[in-house]
Structure 1
Amino acid sequence: MNTWLTAPKLICVTLISACTLAVSLGSSPVWAGDPFRTNDVRDIPENTEAAFEAIFKQGDYDRALEYLAIAEKSESSEPLAYAMRASLAYTDQDWETLKDYALKTQQVAESLQSQDSLRGNLYLAVGYFLEGAYKYKIDEQPLAALNQLQKVFAFLDEAEKNAPEDPELNLLKGYMELLLAVNLPFSAPEQAIEKFQRNAAPEYLVNRGIAVAYRDLNQHDKALDFVNRALTATPDNPELFYLKAQILLEKGQDENNLSFLQQAVAYFDRSLAKAEQLPSSLVKQIERERRKAQTEVEEID
């Protein structure tokens, strides 16, 4: 299934730290914190953290861009902010902006290495991954993109040498392992899922990733269980409404069940009710899938 939550977007999610503070554009966050670690914590700057929450808890991309504009001026030594900006450029298919912020991510991460080898290497991996996405999309250089991917894994290996049990690192690696386990033959997806659930954090992104994995494995009941867990923590996120709609649609199709198809349409509608928060390309995709679901409802009904 064509989905907003796979490939570069899904991997980029794992490279961006989550936050737990409620965000209001009318009032600035009052402190920065580390959403991953209770020991050896890092300070993640407040506007960078707020931008992440605007995307991945609220599903509000315009708000995120406003926070990132502030972060670029006041939090210029934080590579996560540049990685998010590049990720949003990928979403908008703004390839030159993607390239610029991928390079900025690399530059700032390289400067961070001497202070924090773990996060410096982690975000060097981010920057090279994003640069590889640009080369693949624009220059149509699959071999160059492959070389970039080799650099990604090399920097991840360096990060792992510093802290193999780090939750942020394991979130990234866990998502990548899930993608491979779900899509490659002779893999062991259940083992990858169990490892991911045990080692990664924050929990709501873990649950979201597992829901995607079970959706792609056509294990609909498990997928619904985990997307509902993610919705418990992020109850107003239109992207999660969309993900749940996809799962319900597939379940309804497989079981020829009108009720599940109707529920899918309802969740597509809940997602589209917040269309002003989402990128236009995603809105169009949701609208297409909603029409398909409605057609199937009418055929059965």
Structure 2
Amino acid sequence: MTQLFPTTKIVFTKLSRFAQTSLTTAIAFSLWVTPSLAGDPFGRNEPHQIGDHTEAAFKAIFQQGNYPAAERHLKEALAKEPNEPLAYAMQASLAYTKGDVTGLNTYSQQILDAGQKLVASDPLRGNLYTAVGHFFEGAVIVTREGGAKGATQALGRLRQVYQYLDKAEAISPKDPELNLLKGYMDLMLSVNLPFANPDEAIGRLETSAAPRYLADRGIAIGYRDLKQYTQALDYANQAIAGAPDNPELYYLKAQILKEKGRREKSQELLRDAIANFDKALTKKSQLPASLVKQIERERNSAVNQLNNSGR
């Protein structure tokens, strides 16, 4: 038990820190809208309607990686689609990237409220977003309390997260939206918890999650954190094939190439990493400032590695 609390803190902190690239991806679910099911991005036989403005915000972030456009759409969503928990989840993630703990706390509660209200009309998504609300509240606790105290309190939230995910899974175990979210969370936990096996989470993302490019992105992140860089690169390339306009995917690919190049002492891989960092930065005006700084730091590190490798 002494190792579980620090690990829980790591899980909440890591998932929160990379809200744009991991947790938000898991809970926001970029929208692939088909002509036949314009209100449901997952192509279910029985569509679950999502508000048009929320949908537009998701497309702006996950197909285009355009955060200013997403914020404009979210402003409309909160005004015109106040019962859509996904809009509040997006706002909570954006609040975290800005260091706005008060906003994060407010939106976390609104996710919970909207999710609980949705249970009556759409129990699958209602339970799903009640789980998301509890997850974000855990992130608030860790952010505010820090250390073992925050991790201990957040552990209770994590139990509630899985309680509501289990309720959603009992309703529709093959639902692609559910499996995308649960697959991401299971994978992040398995990567950070000792002796955990990520194979089941990867299998869930491979077989039951949608849209495909978000599932591939999650698997790439998981393999990256497991330091299995060849597999990570394969899935990053698949994600890029599905959403080629999103600069965050080139950033993810650059991270993987950088670590693979370091391990293999390959100048070619390091050059490829730098090229992908540069490709991500060509659209830096549409990314959060904190993320741009992070990409620039990692690019500089790759340049230093390349220069030192030639000595």
TM-superposed CA distance for 1:32, in Å, is: 4.3
Matched residue, 2:56: 50
Is this contact kept in 2: 1:61–1:278, CA < 8 A? yes
Runs of 4+ in 1 over 4 A off after TM superposition: none
Asked if residue 84 in structure 1 is aligned to residue 58 in structure 2, the reply is no
Matched residue, 1:123: 129
Query: What letter corresponds to residue 208 of structure 1 in structure 2?
Result: R
> 1:248, 1:177 → 2: CA distance?
25
Is this contact kept in 1: 2:112–2:133, CA < 8 A? yes
Asked if residue 7 in structure 1 is aligned to residue 15 in structure 2, the reply is yes
Asked if residue 18 in structure 1 is aligned to residue 30 in structure 2, the reply is yes
Asked if residue 59 in structure 1 is aligned to residue 65 in structure 2, the reply is yes
Asked if residue 250 in structure 1 is aligned to residue 239 in structure 2, the reply is no
Query: What letter corresponds to residue 57 of structure 1 in structure 2?
Result: Q
TM-superposed CA distance for 1:15, in Å, is: 1.7
What 5-or-longer segments of structure 1 have no aligned partner? 23-30
What 5-or-longer segments of structure 2 have no aligned partner? 1-9
Q: Normalising by the residue count of structure 2, what TM-score does the alignment of the two structures yield?
A: 0.88
Asked if residue 167 in structure 1 is aligned to residue 173 in structure 2, the reply is no
What SS class does the counterpart of residue 230 from structure 1 fall into?
helix
Residues 1:42 and 1:98: Cα distance change in structure 2 (over 3 Å): same
Deviations 1:14-56 (A, max 9, x none): 122321259xxxxxxxx94211233111111111011011111
Query: What letter corresponds to residue 67 of structure 1 in structure 2?
Result: H
Matched residue, 1:26: none
> 1:166, 1:159 → 2: CA distance?
9
Asked if residue 186 in structure 1 is aligned to residue 195 in structure 2, the reply is yes
Query: What letter corresponds to residue 257 of structure 2 in structure 1?
Result: L
Deviations 1:128-148 (A, max 9, x none): 111111111013332222222
> 1:84, 1:244 → 2: CA distance?
24
Query: What letter corresponds to residue 166 of structure 2 in structure 1?
Result: D
TM-superposed CA distance for 1:196, in Å, is: 2.1
What SS class does the counterpart of residue 77 from structure 1 fall into?
coil
> 2:130, 2:100 → 1: CA distance?
21
Is this contact kept in 2: 1:17–1:80, CA < 8 A? no
Is this contact kept in 1: 2:32–2:211, CA < 8 A? no
Deviations 1:206-263 (A, max 9, x none): 0001111111222222111111111011111111111010111011101111111011
Deviations 1:172-195 (A, max 9, x none): 111122123323333333343123
**Higher relative contact order (CA closer than 8 Å, sequence separation 6+):** 2
Is this contact kept in 2: 1:32–1:44, CA < 8 A? no
Q: Percent identity?
A: 48
